[in-house]
A and B are shown apart, each in its own frame.
Chain A
Amino acid sequence: DTAVSQTPKYLVTQMGNDKSIKCEQNLGHDTMYWYKQDSKKFLKIMFSYNNKELIINETVPNRFSPKSPDKAHLNLHINSLELGDSAVYFCASSRRSGYYEQYFGPGTRLTVT
């Protein structure tokens, strides 16, 4: 059973489009995250979210927005896609924020043409 799953695995789209990436965890964790891994393989946190608190990395453009329909899901919406958004996006979860081990999804490779 997959602990943290993401869909789609690959996403190719044109500049200016709006797209979403879905993430689900079946671990019963309270906190979920979105990360971006750039072409140099550097991972940077975008958001961390639990039921009560959304922490946004100040460098993330407001075209990116997380949406959580329930505790097990944290979807990433991206408006007006730009070439520079091309990257691999990872979802992760942990029991709570801070002290706990993180579990990662398989990633979504986004290519903007």
Chain B
Amino acid sequence: KQEVTQIPAALSVPEGENLVLNCSFTDSAIYNLQWFRQDPGKGLTSLLLIQSSQREQTSGRLNASLDKSSGRSTLYIAASQPGDSATYLCAVSAGNQFYFGTGTSLTVIP
């Protein structure tokens, strides 16, 4: 059974810092991995989708990498801003199933 873990559970950084969020999964037989952000009381916003055949995806200040063989993905956020404060979730797709990680709560301090 697929298990998805995110470390750390919470992270607090000063504005302007670069940071890395981690996501690990136990079964490498995945179709893709998707990173989301969730603001308090809101739904999930898709940030990046990496197909299993890809190594990384970039969108603006965000860069996500995928190492399927080791069961790991990272989300790199450059030059963090207070508006980046949210919970970040990763999810892996395998067949018709989607498995979410436990999330990393990020606070960027002005």
Would you call A99 and B51 a contact (CB within 8 A)? yes
Complex alpha-carbon distance, A90 and B38, angstroms: 12
Q: How large is the interface on B (under 10, 10 to 19, 20 to 34, 35 or more residues)?
A: 20 to 34
Q: Which of A42-90 contact B (CB under 8 A)?
A: 42-45, 48, 53, 55, 57, 90
Q: Is B32 an interface residue (CB 8 A)?
A: yes
**Residue-by-residue, is B49-73 near A (CB-CB < 8 Å gives 1, otherwise 0)?**
1010000000000000000000000
Would you call A102 and B34 a contact (CB within 8 A)? yes
**B98 neighbours in A (Cβ, 8 Å):** 33, 45, 48, 102
**A55 neighbours in B (Cβ, 8 Å):** 96-97
**A103 neighbours in B (Cβ, 8 Å):** 46
Complex alpha-carbon distance, A105 and B45, angstroms: 9
Say what secondary structure dominates the interface of chain B: strand
**Given A48, A102, A105, which contacts B96 in the complex, CB threshold below 8 Å?**
A48
With both chains docked as a complex, state the minimum distance between the C-beta of B67 and any C-beta of chain A, in angstroms. 19
A99 — nearest CB in chain B belongs to which residue? B31
**Given A4, A98, A106, which contacts B93 in the complex, CB threshold below 8 Å?**
A98
B48 — nearest CB in chain A belongs to which residue? A101
With both chains docked as a complex, state the minimum distance between the C-beta of B98 and any C-beta of chain A, in angstroms. 5
Complex alpha-carbon distance, A45 and B97, angstroms: 7
B residues with CB within 8 A of A: 31-32, 34, 36, 38, 42-46, 49, 51, 87, 89, 91, 93, 95-100, 102-103
